[in-house]
Amino acid sequence: MKKILLAILTSSLFIITPLTAQAENSIGFAAGSTRGMGVTYRHLPDAGSTSSLGWQVTGLPYITKESGVVSAGGAVLWLLNRGNVGMAYASFGVGTMAMWENCTDEEDLFCEEESNFGIGFGPGIGFELRLVENFGWSVDVPLAILLANGEFEGVYPIPNSALVYYW
């Protein structure tokens, strides 16, 4: 399932990129239920472009000998309106997180191997403010459908947020 999700996300980037030839790009940090958590890259159409479609990918691995956490996510962004200091957008995103712990001490009676996988996906609406010329801060609230270890957990409005640098 993880490999299929990664293949879909990667292939969608190659499909979406030509649609927004004139673009502004950004890199920064993001966290959220339908974006993942970690370093993020965002690709948006220029203000003069006829396209209103952009995308964002986020991810960060933290892996040690005994445990690990890997977070990844992506979203398609539809610009609704763009002003001088901000923009409004609708989005559809997918965020995943995998966590595991390996039991390396065989003498420890309470040591248990454990692994968990979660995914959140859904549509949302948000805004971005340009704090200064090249920095932007965005917040959006999705209707996140959450699954944990393959079981439905609920639908929650857990926000996404990002702080990015544009060039």
Range of the domain at 134: 2-105+113-166
CATH code of the domain containing 138: 2.40.160.20
Among the ranges given (16-30, 63-77, 101-115, 151-165), the one the predictor scored with the smallest mean pLDDT? 16-30
Give the chain's largest Cα–Cα span.
65
For position 55, what pLDDT does the model report? 96
Q: How far is CA 156 from CA 16, 58, 77, 117, 161, in A?
A: 28, 20, 20, 18, 15
Q: Nearest CA to 95 among 32, 51, 50?
A: 32
The pTM of the whole model exceeds 0.85: no
Domain count of the fold of the chain: 1
User: Would you place residue 13 in the very low, low, confident or very high pLDDT band (cuts 50, 70, 90)?
Assistant: low
List pLDDT tens digits, range 33-44.
999 999 999 999
Token representation of residue 61: 């691995």
Quote the CA–CA distance of 153 and 126 in Å, as a whole number: 24
